């Protein structure tokens, strides 16, 4: 099952509308999320930090949350390839973010937006 990766770079307003459209309680603090995403990925869904293994709009780490599919160990707690986090479909990203947020809250991203 191959998922094609089509990246997207959002502007702040379009991303805000997309997150609101999702109608998730997770995004009640929309301004904080927009700051996190801007600092993490500059609103770019294809962002990939090869040095620390962070992927996508939310810069989700491949040591814990997704499978980098390169032989490197991953807990893969979100049960998905990391490439799924670097495309324009935010559905799987948001599912994974909910899981991370339920465990760690904003502390998972805190270092990058203080």
Q: Annotated catalytic sites, by residue?
A: 40, 54
3-state secondary structure of 55: strand
Radius of gyration of the chain (CA): 13
For residues 70-86, b (16+ Cβ closer than 10 Å) or e, as one string? Answer: eeeebebebebbbbbbb
């Amino acid at each position: 099952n191959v998922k094609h990766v089509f990246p997207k770079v959002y502007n702040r307003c379009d991303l805000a509308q997309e997150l609101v459209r999702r109608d998730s309680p997770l995004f009640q603090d929309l301004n904080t999320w927009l700051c996190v995403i801007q600092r993490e990925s500059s609103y770019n869904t294809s962002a990939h930090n090869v040095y620390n293994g962070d992927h996508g709009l939310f810069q989700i780490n491949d040591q814990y949350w997704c499978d980098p599919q390169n032989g490197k160990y991953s807990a893969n707690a979100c049960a998905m390839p990391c490439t799924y986090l670097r495309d324009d479909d935010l559905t799987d990203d948001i599912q994974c973010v909910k899981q991370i947020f339920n465990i760690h809250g904003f502390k998972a991203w805190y270092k990058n937006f203080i």
